[in-house]
Amino acid sequence: MGTEQKKPIRVLIADDHPMMRDGLRAAIQLEEGMEVVGEAVDGAQAITLFESLQPDVTLMDLQMPHVDGLQAITAIQKLSPGAGIVVFTIYPGDARVTQALTLGATSYLLKSASREEIVEAVRATAEGRQVMAAEISHDLSAHRGTAGLTVRELSVLRLVKSGLSNRAIADSLFVTEDTVKSHMKNILFKLGASDRTHAVIIAVRRGFIDP
Protein backbone atom coordinates (compact mmCIF):
# COMPACT_ATOMS: atom_id res chain seq x y z
CA MET A 1 0.00 0.00 0.00
CA GLY A 2 1.32 3.46 -0.86
CA THR A 3 1.49 6.22 1.66
CA GLU A 4 -1.34 8.74 1.54
CA GLN A 5 -0.21 12.07 0.13
CA LYS A 6 -1.08 15.05 2.29
CA LYS A 7 -3.11 17.79 0.66
CA PRO A 8 -1.19 21.06 0.18
CA ILE A 9 -1.87 24.01 2.47
CA ARG A 10 -4.04 26.38 0.44
CA VAL A 11 -3.10 30.03 0.95
CA LEU A 12 -4.94 33.26 0.14
CA ILE A 13 -2.80 36.43 -0.05
CA ALA A 14 -4.40 39.82 0.70
CA ASP A 15 -2.16 42.85 0.10
CA ASP A 16 -2.66 45.99 -1.97
CA HIS A 17 0.99 46.14 -3.16
CA PRO A 18 1.67 44.04 -6.30
CA MET A 19 5.37 43.56 -5.48
CA MET A 20 4.53 42.28 -2.00
CA ARG A 21 2.01 39.82 -3.42
CA ASP A 22 4.60 38.66 -5.96
CA GLY A 23 7.16 38.10 -3.21
CA LEU A 24 4.76 36.21 -0.98
CA ARG A 25 3.54 34.07 -3.84
CA ALA A 26 7.12 33.16 -4.79
CA ALA A 27 8.03 32.34 -1.18
CA ILE A 28 5.02 30.06 -0.73
CA GLN A 29 5.09 28.36 -4.13
CA LEU A 30 8.73 27.36 -3.56
CA GLU A 31 7.68 25.39 -0.50
CA GLU A 32 6.56 21.81 -1.05
CA GLY A 33 3.12 21.19 0.34
CA MET A 34 1.84 24.76 -0.10
CA GLU A 35 0.00 26.56 -2.88
CA VAL A 36 -1.40 30.03 -3.43
CA VAL A 37 -5.04 29.72 -4.44
CA GLY A 38 -5.94 33.41 -4.65
CA GLU A 39 -4.75 37.00 -4.32
CA ALA A 40 -6.78 39.98 -3.08
CA VAL A 41 -5.93 43.65 -3.55
CA ASP A 42 -8.06 44.91 -0.66
CA GLY A 43 -10.10 43.69 2.29
CA ALA A 44 -13.36 43.50 0.37
CA GLN A 45 -11.87 41.19 -2.25
CA ALA A 46 -10.21 39.16 0.52
CA ILE A 47 -13.62 38.47 2.06
CA THR A 48 -15.15 37.50 -1.31
CA LEU A 49 -12.24 35.22 -2.24
CA PHE A 50 -12.17 33.63 1.20
CA GLU A 51 -15.84 32.73 0.91
CA SER A 52 -15.43 31.19 -2.57
CA LEU A 53 -12.01 29.54 -2.11
CA GLN A 54 -12.10 28.49 1.56
CA PRO A 55 -8.29 28.63 1.98
CA ASP A 56 -6.52 26.97 4.90
CA VAL A 57 -4.56 30.13 5.69
CA THR A 58 -5.01 33.79 4.75
CA LEU A 59 -2.00 36.14 4.75
CA MET A 60 -3.58 39.51 5.60
CA ASP A 61 -2.13 43.00 5.34
CA LEU A 62 -3.72 45.51 7.72
CA GLN A 63 -3.48 48.74 5.72
CA MET A 64 -5.55 48.26 2.56
CA PRO A 65 -7.99 50.57 0.73
CA HIS A 66 -11.79 50.44 0.96
CA VAL A 67 -11.94 47.65 3.58
CA ASP A 68 -8.89 47.31 5.80
CA GLY A 69 -7.37 44.14 7.22
CA LEU A 70 -9.05 44.38 10.61
CA GLN A 71 -12.48 44.69 8.99
CA ALA A 72 -11.67 41.76 6.70
CA ILE A 73 -10.56 39.61 9.66
CA THR A 74 -13.86 40.35 11.41
CA ALA A 75 -15.90 39.42 8.35
CA ILE A 76 -13.91 36.24 7.64
CA GLN A 77 -14.32 35.04 11.23
CA LYS A 78 -18.08 35.48 10.88
CA LEU A 79 -18.00 33.37 7.71
CA SER A 80 -15.73 30.73 9.22
CA PRO A 81 -15.06 30.97 12.98
CA GLY A 82 -11.52 29.86 13.76
CA ALA A 83 -10.22 30.56 10.23
CA GLY A 84 -6.42 30.61 10.07
CA ILE A 85 -5.23 34.17 9.49
CA VAL A 86 -1.65 35.44 9.53
CA VAL A 87 -1.41 39.22 9.83
CA PHE A 88 1.51 40.36 7.66
CA THR A 89 2.18 44.06 8.11
CA ILE A 90 4.79 46.78 8.52
CA TYR A 91 3.06 47.97 11.70
CA PRO A 92 4.06 46.63 15.12
CA GLY A 93 2.53 47.95 18.36
CA ASP A 94 0.94 46.02 21.20
CA ALA A 95 -2.47 47.73 20.90
CA ARG A 96 -2.74 46.95 17.18
CA VAL A 97 -1.60 43.36 17.71
CA THR A 98 -4.04 42.84 20.58
CA GLN A 99 -6.89 44.17 18.44
CA ALA A 100 -6.02 41.89 15.53
CA LEU A 101 -5.77 38.83 17.77
CA THR A 102 -9.01 39.72 19.55
CA LEU A 103 -10.81 39.96 16.20
CA GLY A 104 -9.57 36.51 15.23
CA ALA A 105 -6.06 36.65 13.73
CA THR A 106 -4.03 33.55 14.58
CA SER A 107 -0.47 34.78 13.99
CA TYR A 108 1.27 38.14 13.52
CA LEU A 109 4.35 38.79 11.38
CA LEU A 110 6.13 41.93 10.28
CA LYS A 111 7.03 42.47 6.63
CA SER A 112 10.69 42.31 7.58
CA ALA A 113 10.21 38.55 8.17
CA SER A 114 12.39 36.10 6.25
CA ARG A 115 11.00 33.55 3.80
CA GLU A 116 11.59 30.83 6.40
CA GLU A 117 9.58 32.76 9.00
CA ILE A 118 6.70 33.29 6.57
CA VAL A 119 6.58 29.61 5.62
CA GLU A 120 6.74 28.53 9.27
CA ALA A 121 3.92 30.92 10.18
CA VAL A 122 1.73 29.56 7.38
CA ARG A 123 2.45 25.96 8.37
CA ALA A 124 1.90 26.63 12.09
CA THR A 125 -1.33 28.53 11.49
CA ALA A 126 -2.67 25.72 9.29
CA GLU A 127 -2.03 23.40 12.24
CA GLY A 128 -3.76 25.72 14.68
CA ARG A 129 -0.55 26.99 16.29
CA GLN A 130 0.33 30.65 16.82
CA VAL A 131 3.48 32.36 15.57
CA MET A 132 4.46 35.85 16.67
CA ALA A 133 7.34 38.02 15.48
CA ALA A 134 9.94 38.37 18.25
CA GLU A 135 9.49 42.16 18.30
CA ILE A 136 5.75 41.70 18.72
CA SER A 137 6.14 39.26 21.59
CA HIS A 138 8.46 41.73 23.31
CA ASP A 139 5.97 44.60 22.90
CA LEU A 140 3.13 42.50 24.30
CA SER A 141 5.21 41.48 27.31
CA ALA A 142 6.43 45.01 27.94
CA HIS A 143 2.90 46.46 28.06
CA ARG A 144 1.03 43.54 29.63
CA GLY A 145 -1.26 44.80 32.37
CA THR A 146 -1.14 48.45 31.30
CA ALA A 147 -4.40 50.35 30.85
CA GLY A 148 -5.83 50.84 27.39
CA LEU A 149 -7.42 53.99 26.04
CA THR A 150 -11.17 54.52 25.97
CA VAL A 151 -13.06 55.26 22.75
CA ARG A 152 -13.41 58.92 23.75
CA GLU A 153 -9.72 59.19 24.66
CA LEU A 154 -8.82 57.78 21.25
CA SER A 155 -11.09 60.36 19.61
CA VAL A 156 -9.37 63.14 21.50
CA LEU A 157 -5.92 61.82 20.62
CA ARG A 158 -6.73 61.58 16.91
CA LEU A 159 -7.82 65.21 16.94
CA VAL A 160 -4.65 66.19 18.80
CA LYS A 161 -2.68 64.42 16.07
CA SER A 162 -4.58 66.52 13.51
CA GLY A 163 -3.24 69.63 15.22
CA LEU A 164 -6.43 70.85 16.90
CA SER A 165 -6.36 72.88 20.09
CA ASN A 166 -8.29 71.84 23.21
CA ARG A 167 -10.95 74.40 22.34
CA ALA A 168 -11.33 73.07 18.79
CA ILE A 169 -11.42 69.48 20.05
CA ALA A 170 -14.14 70.40 22.54
CA ASP A 171 -16.21 71.99 19.79
CA SER A 172 -15.70 68.96 17.53
CA LEU A 173 -16.78 66.49 20.22
CA PHE A 174 -19.53 68.71 21.68
CA VAL A 175 -17.98 68.69 25.15
CA THR A 176 -16.43 71.34 27.38
CA GLU A 177 -12.78 72.33 27.18
CA ASP A 178 -12.36 71.13 30.79
CA THR A 179 -13.57 67.69 29.70
CA VAL A 180 -10.95 67.60 26.95
CA LYS A 181 -8.26 68.62 29.46
CA SER A 182 -9.40 65.82 31.76
CA HIS A 183 -9.18 63.30 28.90
CA MET A 184 -5.70 64.57 28.03
CA LYS A 185 -4.57 64.18 31.63
CA ASN A 186 -5.74 60.54 31.61
CA ILE A 187 -4.08 59.93 28.22
CA LEU A 188 -0.74 61.31 29.38
CA PHE A 189 -0.88 59.16 32.51
CA LYS A 190 -1.85 55.94 30.71
CA LEU A 191 0.80 56.35 28.02
CA GLY A 192 3.50 57.68 30.33
CA ALA A 193 3.80 60.71 28.06
CA SER A 194 5.30 64.07 28.97
CA ASP A 195 3.12 66.21 26.67
CA ARG A 196 0.59 66.08 23.82
CA THR A 197 3.17 65.52 21.09
CA HIS A 198 4.84 62.76 23.07
CA ALA A 199 1.44 61.12 23.63
CA VAL A 200 0.75 61.05 19.88
CA ILE A 201 4.18 59.54 19.16
CA ILE A 202 3.67 56.79 21.74
CA ALA A 203 0.10 56.11 20.59
CA VAL A 204 1.20 55.71 16.96
CA ARG A 205 4.11 53.45 17.92
CA ARG A 206 1.91 51.22 20.05
CA GLY A 207 -0.86 51.09 17.45
CA PHE A 208 -3.61 52.95 19.30
CA ILE A 209 -3.94 55.34 16.35
CA ASP A 210 -2.80 55.12 12.73
CA PRO A 211 0.39 56.89 11.57
> Per-residue pLDDT tens for 100-146?
988 999 999 989 899 999 999 999 999 999 988 877 777 776 666 56
Counted residue by residue, the chain has a size of 211
Let me know whether 163 and 134 are in one domain. Answer: no
The boundaries of the domain holding residue 168 are 151-206
Quick one: pLDDT at residue 1? Answer: 44
Positions of the chain with pLDDT lower than 70, given as ranges: 1-5, 141-147
Quick one: pLDDT at residue 19? Answer: 94
- Side by side, the strands of the sheet bearing 107-110 are 34-40, 9-14, 57-60, 84-89, 107-110
Query: Per the domain annotation, does 3 fall within a domain?
Result: no
Quick one: pLDDT at residue 202? Answer: 85
Query: Per the domain annotation, does 4 fall within a domain?
Result: no
CB contact at 8 A, 135 and 159: no
Task: Pick the closest to residue 111 from 136, 91, 131, 135 (CA basis).
Answer: 91
Query: Per the domain annotation, does 79 fall within a domain?
Result: yes
Quick one: pLDDT at residue 10? Answer: 97
State how many domains the chain has: 2
- % of the chain at pLDDT higher than 90: 64
The CATH number that applies at residue 167 is 1.10.10.10
Let me know whether 85 and 132 are in one domain. Answer: yes
CB contact at 8 A, 187 and 145: no
- Taking the C-alpha atoms of residue 103 and residue 160, their distance in angstroms, rounded to an integer, is 27
What amino acid is encoded at 94 in this protein?
A: D
Query: Per the domain annotation, does 211 fall within a domain?
Result: no
